[in-house]
């Protein structure tokens, strides 16, 4: 203020000209902000219309585990053998599949069997969908002909994400950010390895990479490769995307999802399963800011540990390919850092049924734009 009052005529003209340029630039940025924001979704999201199929698929998975594990787990009620046999010939992916009253009754009988419940407790040893307990607990309600799925039901549905999908949506912009609406295009390339080559098709003009992580994958293996840990696969995939020169100008948002299920797992075994796969967890000490409220200390340590496994991939001094010969067109971490003009990573702890994902995305995108603009102005 003092410099402004004492400035001479030439300085004032120069100051006014600079102010006009900044105002114009801010208007241009605001116009760009109102354009479509393209988001690349990596990993999986849940979809609709799968509750009944999910219930049958979950039970078939449980029964298969009971038969193949050593030693096998028998049904405790011999009368339930009829229900077991019923599911041998059902294909939930067949177009003629019908979920009828008989199917529901067999599911209810098996779900009450102590042998089935024993197998469910060992869910980390095989590929049981995370929503199995929720769906099978209320399969009687779901089977009713007049049943209308609730929001929680929809959020618990699961469908394999296959192929390239594009979702268009818009959300209201808060008044403090100018009001109106903001359009988004979200590209989903699927979570399985065989679909990841399609990512290159949508790299162009991606402003935001939304990386969704299952926080409970540390003691589970991939469906397509049972020799590989799910968490390690996610870490490798995240690193590859972070280091990609094609995404060097994209902001990253990390969703550490399924915190509700993680909390249940940690409360059951006090972090022993996480420790068995990641021995370094024993000596891990979270930041004081990570210890919030009255939450269980072991759970808070666990979620912060998993978060830092990913964030450390953006901080390592060398690429994950440091011992490998550099390949043409493949950027390492140092190269990515030189090219990267936006913030590092925005992260959020989310639950398996969080309905506020989009608000978190919008707030993070808004913060990214502010940082990018301030960086361009040379203010940070």
**pLDDT in single tens digits along all 380 residues of the chain:** 333 333 445 556 665 676 666 556 545 544 554 566 777 777 543 343 468 888 999 999 999 999 999 999 999 999 999 999 999 888 877 767 778 889 999 999 999 999 999 999 999 899 898 889 999 999 988 887 667 666 567 556 655 444 455 666 666 766 766 677 766 666 665 554 554 555 555 566 677 888 888 899 898 876 656 677 888 888 888 887 888 777 777 888 888 988 988 999 999 999 999 999 999 999 999 999 998 888 899 999 999 999 999 999 887 543 444 433 333 333 344 444 445 544 468 888 888 566 665 566 666 666 666 555 555 545 44
Structure tokens given for 344? 């590092």
In terms of DSSP bridges, do strands 208-214 and 37-42 run parallel, antiparallel, or are they unpaired? parallel
342 labeled part of a ligand binding site: no
Confirm if 66 and 115 have CB atoms less than 8 A apart.
Answer: yes
313 annotated to a ligand binding site: no
CB 136 within 8 A of CB 162: no
Is 260 within any annotated ligand binding site?
yes
Residue 155 pLDDT: 56
Instruction: Please list the residue range(s) of the chain that carry CATH number 3.40.50.300.
Output: 35-46+161-376
Check the annotation: does 160 bind a ligand. Answer: yes
Is 219 within any annotated ligand binding site?
Answer: no
What per-residue confidence (pLDDT) applies to 361? Answer: 64
Is residue 41 classed as helix, strand or coil in its secondary structure?
A: strand
| 188 annotated as ligand-binding | yes
Residue 325: what pLDDT? 36
Range(s) within the chain of domains with CATH label 1.10.400.10: 51-156
| Calpha distance 253→187 (Å, rounded) | 14
DSSP character at residue 182: E
User: Two tokens at 320?
Assistant: 């994950």
161 is in an annotated binding site: yes
249 annotated ligand binder? no
The token duo for 308 is: 């830092």
Q: Is 11 annotated as a binding residue?
A: no
d(CA 378, CA 364): 21
Longest dimension (CA), the chain: 97
State residue 366's pLDDT score: 66
Q: Is 355 annotated as a binding residue?
A: no
Architecture of the domain defined by 51-156: Orthogonal Bundle (1.10)
Burial zone of 33 (CB within 10 Å; 0-12 exposed, 13-18 middle, 19+ buried)? middle
Q: What are phi and psi of 377, to 5 degrees?
A: -75, -10
Instruction: Provide DSSP, 161-179.
Output: --S-EEEEEEEEPPGGGT-
The predicted pLDDT at position 52 comes to 85
Other C-beta atoms lying within 10 Å of the C-beta of residue 161: 19
Is there a binding annotation on residue 103?
no
What residues does 232 pair with on adjacent strands?
A: none
Structure tokens at 295: 């939450």
Q: Is 52 annotated as a binding residue?
A: no
With beta carbons less than 8 A apart as the criterion, state whether 222 and 315 touch.
no
What top-level class would CATH report for the domain 35-46+161-376? alpha beta
Return d(Cα 273, Cα 295) in angstroms, integer: 20
- The answer to the question of whether 190 is labelled as a binding residue is yes
Would the annotation count 191 as a binding residue?
yes
pTM, two decimal places: 0.56
- Asked if residues 130 and 352 have their Cβ atoms less than 8 Å apart, the reply is yes
Tokens 């390492």 label which residue?
A: 332
């Amino acid at each position: 203020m003092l410099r402004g009052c004492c400035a001479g005529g030439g300085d004032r003209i120069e100051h006014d000209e600079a102010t006009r340029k900044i105002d114009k630039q801010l208007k241009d940025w605001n116009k760009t902000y109102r354009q479509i924001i393209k988001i690349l979704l990596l990993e999986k999201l849940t979809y609709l219309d799968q509750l009944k199929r999910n219930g049958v698929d979950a039970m078939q998975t449980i029964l298969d585990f009971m038969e193949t594990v050593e030693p096998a787990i028998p049904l405790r009620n011999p009368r339930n053998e009829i229900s077991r046999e019923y599911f041998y010939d059902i294909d939930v992916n067949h177009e003629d599949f019908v979920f009828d009253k008989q199917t529901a009754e067999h599911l209810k009988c098996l779900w009450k069997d102590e042998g089935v419940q024993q197998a469910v407790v060992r869910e980390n040893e095989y590929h049981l969908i995370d929503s199995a307990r929720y769906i099978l607990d209320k399969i009687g309600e779901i089977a009713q002909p007049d049943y209308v799925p609730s929001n929680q039901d929809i959020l618990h549905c699961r469908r394999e994400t296959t192929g390239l999908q594009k979702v268009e949506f818009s959300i209201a912009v808060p008044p403090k950010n100018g009001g109106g609406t903001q359009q988004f295009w979200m590209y989903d390339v699927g979570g399985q390895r065989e679909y990841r080559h399609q990512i290159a098709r949508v790299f162009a003009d991606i402003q935001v990479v939304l990386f969704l992580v299952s926080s409970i994958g540390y003691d589970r293996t991939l469906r397509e490769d049972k020799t590989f840990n799910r968490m390690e696969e996610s870490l490798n995939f995240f690193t590859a995307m972070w280091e990609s020169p094609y995404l060097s100008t994209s902001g990253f948002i990390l969703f550490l999802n399924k915190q509700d299920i993680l909390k249940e797992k940690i409360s059951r075994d006090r972090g022993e399963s996480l420790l068995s796969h990641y021995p370094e967890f024993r000596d891990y000490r979270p930041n004081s800011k990570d210890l919030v409220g009255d939450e269980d200390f072991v759970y808070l340590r666990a979620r912060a540990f998993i978060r830092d496994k990913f964030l450390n991939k953006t901080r390592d001094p060398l690429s994950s390919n440091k011992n490998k010969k550099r390949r043409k067109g493949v950027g390492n971490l140092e190269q990515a850092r030189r090219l990267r003009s936006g913030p590092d990573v925005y992260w959020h702890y989310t639950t398996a049924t969080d309905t506020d994902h989009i608000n978190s995305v919008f707030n993070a995108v808004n913060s990214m734009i502010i940082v990018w603009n301030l960086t361009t102005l040379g203010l940070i």
